[in-house]
């Protein structure tokens, strides 16, 4: 069906052919009585302010609808992408020196990416994201299951191989958290979307520092809350087997919980971070210097034991931060505080 065909049929007919398109029209504010009009007539009748408020452009609505339907059809026929491994084949650092690296990652692997500001951590994640084929500044190559990826892997939307969690989440449509999650669950053709929404929401609230509700508009979420929502969404619903996380520590999200959640889903996780504690959560860490991978360090048993203790320090420090954040004054005995920090915390599952 072409864009033109779509525009000229009554909405009621379109919905018989593509029932899942109902959400598209609901968001645009279609009253259930108006389904006899053609798609084109409906788009033309929409109030300009309403379209502006949704962050949409009238002339693009047809294309959007077409893309939405195309993606859904692809989803219905396709399976979630699966893979055995990705292999990162080294390129060059900023001075053109060869990296001489061949790193294989499998589902369940968590690899941190550390290095000073500007060293090239985000570049490395971007190389994975675009499945670089020597065509990025680093000259790196990615192999999927040991082979150069073929065209079919460059799928958009839900079938993407790679999900990226970046600091900036731009929600274009002003819908509530509930509507956003329902839309997403429906678009994945989840059978019990209500249960999926409840699961993602409770997970997101667990991760976010500040609580929010299902009725909160997504555009009113703070950076940390929207990050938490996206992490929960990726963990619970996304089919992407590779997850890239850039600088999770600035987002006010419970990092440890977020990571545990993603690891449980047997995904390959690459995590760029400035936070040493977070870096130690990975089984390995890539040390980036001057644009190149200078070293790959496996997290040692000593480090894991240290991490356990450092986490209890971290928790105590977080409590202090929270108190200041909530407008309280600090007044405590430092020696007592330090003693409390090193007292065995006894948190199971920390190692
Ligand atoms: N191997 C490389 N060859 C050429 N340019 C590179 C290479 N690696 C990184 N760069 C470039 O260096 C710049 C800084 O890299 P990037 O943004 O990845 O740093 P970063 O480690 O993420 O920094 P920050 O910690 O501030 O986020 C970018 O313009 C990036 O494209
Ligand atoms: Mg960066």
Domain range list for the chain: 3-77, 106-119+154-299, 303-342
The CATH classification of domain 106-119+154-299, taken from the options 3.30.830.10, 3.40.50.300, 3.40.50.740, 3.20.20.140: 3.40.50.300
Ligand nearest to the CA of 123: 1
Q: How far is CA 270 from CA 9, 26, 47, 155, 251, in A?
A: 46, 37, 44, 20, 17
Cα distance between residue 75 and residue 89, in whole Å: 31
Is 118 near ligand 1, meaning CB less than 6 Å away?
Answer: yes
Tens digits of residue pLDDT in 326-344? 899 998 898 988 888 777 6
Q: For ligand 1, say whether the CB of 99 is within 6 Å of any of its atoms.
A: no
Residue 296: closest CA among 92, 84, 111, 141: 111
Contact 139 CB / ligand 1 (< 6 Å) = no
**Measured from the CA of 291, which atom of ligand 1 is nearest?**
8
* Residue 295: pLDDT over 70: yes
Note the pLDDT tens digit of each residue in 144-168. Answer: 889 887 655 554 444 456 766 654 5
Which pLDDT does position 253 carry in this prediction? 65
Of all protein residues, whose CA lies closest to atom 16 belonging to ligand 1?
Answer: 120
Tell me, in angstroms, the distance from the centre of ligand 2 to residue 291's CA. Answer: 11
Do residues 127 and 142 touch, judged by C-beta distance below 8 A?
A: yes
Neighbours of 105 (CB within 10 A): 19
- For residues 181 and 179, what is the distance between their CA atoms, to the nearest angstrom? 6
Highest mean pLDDT of the ranges 67-76, 87-96, 121-130, 163-172: 87-96
Structure confidence at residue 299 as a pLDDT band (50, 70, 90): very high
As a whole number of angstroms, the distance between CA 226 and CA 246 comes to: 15
Around ion ligand 2, which residues have CB less than 5 A away? Answer: 122
> What's the whole-number average pLDDT of the chain?
80
Q: Does ligand 1 have an atom closer than 6 angstroms to the CB of 119? A: yes
115 lines ligand 1 (CB under 6 A): yes
* Ligand 2 centroid, distance to 91 Cα (angstroms): 19
Residue nearest to atom 25 of ligand 1 (CA): 117
Pairing of strands 268-272, 242-246: parallel
For 269: left if phi > 0, alpha if psi spans -120 to 50, otherwise beta; the answer is beta
CB count, 10 Å around CB of 183? 19
Please tell me if the CB atom of residue 94 comes closer than 6 angstroms to any atom of ligand 1. Answer: yes
pLDDT at 121: 93
Mean pLDDT of 306-313: 80
For the CA of 94, the closest atom of ligand 1 is 3
Closest-lying ligand 1 atom to the alpha carbon of residue 123: 18
Angle between helices 223-236 and 255-264 (to 10 degrees): 20
Task: Indicate the top mutation candidate among 112, 126, 135, 137 to test ligand 1's pocket, ranked by most ligand atoms within 8 A of CB.
Answer: 137
């Amino acid at each position: 069906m072409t864009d033109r065909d779509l525009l000229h049929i009554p909405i009621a007919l379109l919905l018989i052919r593509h029932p899942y398109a109902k959400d598209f029209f609901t968001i645009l504010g279609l009253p259930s009585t108006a389904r006899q009009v053609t798609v084109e007539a409906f788009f033309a009748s929409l109030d300009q302010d309403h379209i502006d408020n949704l962050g949409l452009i009238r002339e693009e609505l047809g294309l959007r609808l077409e893309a939405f339907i195309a993606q859904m059809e692809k989803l219905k026929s396709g399976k979630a992408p699966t893979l055995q491994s990705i292999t990162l084949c080294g390129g060059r650092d900023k001075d053109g020196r060869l990296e001489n690296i061949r790193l294989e990652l499998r589902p369940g692997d968590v690899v941190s990416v550390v290095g000073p500001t500007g060293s090239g951590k985000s570049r490395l994640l971007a190389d994975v994201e675009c499945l670089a084929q020597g065509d990025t500044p680093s000259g790196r190559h990615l192999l999927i299951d040991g082979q150069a990826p073929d065209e079919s892997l460059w799928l958009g939307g839900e079938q993407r191989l790679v999900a990226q969690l970046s600091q900036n989440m731009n929600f274009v449509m002003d819908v509530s958290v509930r509507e956003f999650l329902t839309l997403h669950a429906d678009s994945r053709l989840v059978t019990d979307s209500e249960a999926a929404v409840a699961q993602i929401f409770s997970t997101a609230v667990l991760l976010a520092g500040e609580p929010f509700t299902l009725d909160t508009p997504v555009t009113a979420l703070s950076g940390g809350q929207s990050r938490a929502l996206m992490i929960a969404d990726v963990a619970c619903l996304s089919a992407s087997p590779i997850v890239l996380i850039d600088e999770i520590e600035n987002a006010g999200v419970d990092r440890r919980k977020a990571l545990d959640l993603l690891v449980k889903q047997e995904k390959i996780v690459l995590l760029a971070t400035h936070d040493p504690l977070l870096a130690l959560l990975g089984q390995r860490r890539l040390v980036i210097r001057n644009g190149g991978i200078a070293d790959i360090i496996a997290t040692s048993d000593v480090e894991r034991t240290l991490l356990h203790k450092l986490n209890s320090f971290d928790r105590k420090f977080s409590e202090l931060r929270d108190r200041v954040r909530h407008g309280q004054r600090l007044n405590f005995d430092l020696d007592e505080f330090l003693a409390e920090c090193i007292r065995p915390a006894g948190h199971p599952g920390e190692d």
